[in-house]
Every structure is written in structure tokens, then in C-alpha cells.
Structure 1
Amino acid sequence: MSKRAVLEVIALDAGDAVAAEAGGADRLELVTDMAADGLTPSRETFAAIRAAVDIPLRVMLRLADGFAAGDVDALVRAAGALRSEGADEFVLGFLTEAGDADVPVVETLVAELGGCRWTFHRAIDRAGDRDAVRKQLADLPGLDTYLTAGSAVGVDDGMTTLLAESARDGEPGYTPHLLVGGGLRLDHVSRLKSGGVTGFHIGGAARPAGWAGPVSTPAVEEWRRVLDR
């Protein structure tokens, strides 16, 4: 029996969260400010969403656009505040100017998370050497997912990379789940599933009116139907 695909949907507020859960989302990624590609939401927003839905929530730890960590102390404070509010899953990822994983920063944040599960996000798509990043992070506690399009420009360009990485599942550095997102469309799903991918992440695809509009339950339902087909 094949494993049921995981559908993660970006939520900006409690309304998004309720609509996504009603449509069949398995998990939400909580962010604010999509103009900056998704930053850390407020503690209050997290609390409102946590009260509104029952599905797991992964909270973004990122305070500025780009993939440099910036103010690490502020990131640690944000992580601590969210933990104290009950957050127990996170999304993060930082690179050095050379395009390597910023391991000291990631280690500092992971220590603050105290064993919580977390996703290394699409920073991997901007890395100089994807395989090296995976090896650098392989022993960090809690890392169970890579969110990736396989390419900085999206799934169309990254498909070959995604399928190659899926085929390496279980190798050193390749035990975290592959969560595919970034220009992901419904017509990509069949090929990805055939290649063993079981995690799918959508943002704009859940919002027919664009980022200015809310998550659409029917749009999420359509993704759920296609993933379960």
C-alpha cells in the first residue's frame, strides 16, 4: 500500500488555516510577509492559528528577505517566544555568502528548539552544492524535511534534481523527507509521485485570487484529490 502524500499549505492567518484544514491539508507552514518570501509570524498570529485548527503547524524562523541569517540573537528570541506559546515544529535555513549551509547559525537555532522537528527550506535551492549541504546538516537533531523545488527558479527546472534526490532516499544526508514546493503545479504531481515523492507544499496554488486573497478550500480540495488519486 503506497504512503499517503502529505499536503502542506502556507497560511498567513487563522482564516487561511481553517480553509486549508477544511480542504484536506495535512500541515500548515505559518509565515508573514510573502513579499519577502515568508518571514516569522507574530506570537499572537501563531496562537490564533493554533486555537483555530488541529493539524500540525510549522512556523518559519526568518526575519529578513534573503538567505543570510542576519540578527541571530533576534532569531533565537523569536524561536524562544514561539516555543513558549506552544510551537513545536519549525522551518528554517541559512546560507553563507559562499553558498554553504550556515551551520553555526543553524546549530544555534536547533539548540533553542530543543529537539523539535524542523524543515530546512528552499535555501538549499540557492546552495552552491546541494549534496554538501545535506551532508553538513545530516546529524542535526530534529531535521526531518527538505522543502525544495530542485532549482532556484522552480519545479519545472528542478524536476530532474528532485527525482534524483528522491531516488537516494535513505542514503547519508538523504533520510529527511522531500517536500516539493516552488512553482509546483498539479501537472507535476504524477511524475513526482511516480518518482517516490510523498510531500507537496503549496502557497499561491491554494489562492485563486493571489496573495491578496485568502486560501480557497475548493483549491486545496482539488490538490487533495489529485494527491490521493
Structure 2
Amino acid sequence: MSNRAVLEVIALDAEDAVAAQSGGADRLELITDMAADGLTPSRETFGRIRAAVDIRLRVMLRLADGFAAGDIDALVEAARGMRAEGADEFVLGFLDPDGSPDLVAVERVVAEIEGCPWTFHRAIDRAADRDAARKQLAELPGLDTYLTAGSADGVDAGLPTLLAEAAASERSEPGYGARLLVGGGLRLEHVPELRAAGITGFHIGGAARPGGWSKPVEAAAVREWRGLLDA
């Protein structure tokens, strides 16, 4: 795994995508409806973004707010539609009511995306037992990333957990092979400590939009992150 930091930016549309790419993003997370913490975008939106940029795109597979899978057949259908549109990287993650991974839902969706790389998103920050969850998920094909703040309350609260998990990854402990992609209340001042710990994945949403979520991604804001990550 390269030590160069990966910068992933949330994009809602092609305008966001173009700005993020020009600012130096390596990859985009494609969503709609940030008020619900990000749901699956339309196939048309994916197509417009794919035509506008040539960086990697990870498409959210999530149909309702919260971390329950809901209608698994509908999730599978959404995944099938995105694959048909050309999507080849995904973001997903579902929990049972007891806070353990919903393996039935995750395994069905993963079977539909046929070995495509995917991120288990911030559901990990709401898992009853993070370590147990990682070990349960570790052998699923395509899982290469955990999007996490280390805590449901964001990076400020989760920093000790992130540093401990980075150390577990360095030691090649079982369940810690996937890249840590830090996001959720992530600020520029967190970066030096996270980089020093060997963390190579950074995910920004609001930080790429100085004008707020009603305004588009700004290339200059992304460029500031890129510059710090490459320093």
C-alpha cells in the first residue's frame, strides 16, 4: 500500500466532481441527500459525474437514514443498476439492532457487486464492538477501506481509537488489513498526528464547501487539503 495519502471528497453532482478533481482529490464518494447523511444517487447523476471526471468514484449504497439495511432486495437492485451504469467501487455498511454488522444484508450486496472494491462506512462508529465487527467483516471480498471517525461523535472524540487501530494495522492484526479512511468532523489540524501514525486515507465533505452544504465544492478548499497531505 502506498504511503501517499488518498484524499476522498463527497460529491453531489458533476459541478462538485470537477472542482474536487481540479483541487487534487484522488477519489469521490457519490451521494445524494446529505440531510440523511448520504443516500444512493440516481443512475443519471452517476452517469453525468462519470462523464465529467476521470478519477475514481465510490457510490453510496444506502436507501434510508440510519444504519439498518431496510429493504435488502431494493439495495441489491440499486447495486445492480449502478453496476449496469458502469460503477465499479462502492460504499456500504449496515448494522443489526444489537449493533453488530448485518451480515445478511452486507453479504447479499457484496455478492451483487462481484468483488468490486468497497468501503464499510461510518456504521463502524456505531458498532457495539468495533474489533468484533472488523473480524466478522474481514474475509468479505472487495472490502478495502473503513470510513471512520473513531467515534460516533467525530474525530475529536475518536482520535485515540483511530491511533490504536492504525497501530493494529501496522502490526498486521487480524481484521485490520483494510485502509483507515478518516472522516467525520475531520479538520486540517488533525492531519499531522494522523499522518504520523501512518494513516493514509482522508475523507472530507463540509470541509470542501466553505459556503456550506447548499454551495458547491470549491477547488481551492480541496487544494489546501491536498497540499497539507503532500507536505
Q: Equivalent residue for 1:8?
A: 8
Q: TM-score, normalised by structure 2?
A: 0.98
Taking the TM superposition and a 5 Å limit, the aligned residue runs for 1:186-201 are 186-201=188-203
Structure 1: gaps (5+ residues): none
Q: Equivalent residue for 2:21?
A: 21
Total equivalences in the alignment: 228
Taking the TM superposition and a 5 Å limit, the aligned residue runs for 1:1-229 are 3-169=3-169, 170-229=172-231
Residue 46 of structure 2 aligns with an amino acid whose one-letter code is: F
Residue 222 of structure 1 aligns with an amino acid whose one-letter code is: E
The Cα of 1:104 is off from its aligned counterpart by 0.9
Q: SS of the counterpart of 1:168?
A: helix
> How many Å separate the matches in 1 of 2:104 and 2:71?
13
Residue 207 of structure 2 aligns with an amino acid whose one-letter code is: A
Residue 62 of structure 1 aligns with an amino acid whose one-letter code is: R
The Cα of 1:227 is off from its aligned counterpart by 0.5
Q: TM-score, normalised by structure 1?
A: 0.99
Q: SS of the counterpart of 2:192?
A: helix
The Cα of 1:31 is off from its aligned counterpart by 0.1
Q: Deviations over 1:19-47 (max 9, x none)?
A: 00000000000000000000000000000
> How many Å separate the matches in 2 of 1:3 and 1:150?
21
Q: Deviations over 1:114-156 (max 9, x none)?
A: 1100000000000100001000001100000000000001000
Q: SS of the counterpart of 1:63?
A: coil
- C-alpha RMSD of matched pairs (Å): 0.6
Structure 1 residue ranges, 4+ long, deviating more than 2 angstroms after superposition: none
> How many Å separate the matches in 2 of 1:156 and 1:12?
26
> How many Å separate the matches in 1 of 2:174 and 2:119?
17
> How many Å separate the matches in 2 of 1:122 and 1:224?
23
User: Percentage identity across aligned positions?
Assistant: 75
Residue 42 of structure 1 aligns with an amino acid whose one-letter code is: S
> How many Å separate the matches in 2 of 1:116 and 1:172?
22
Q: Deviations over 1:63-88 (max 9, x none)?
A: 00000000111100000000000000
> How many Å separate the matches in 1 of 2:105 and 2:215?
34
The Cα of 1:3 is off from its aligned counterpart by 1.5
Structure 2: gaps (5+ residues): none
Residue 180 of structure 2 aligns with an amino acid whose one-letter code is: L
Residue 48 of structure 2 aligns with an amino acid whose one-letter code is: A
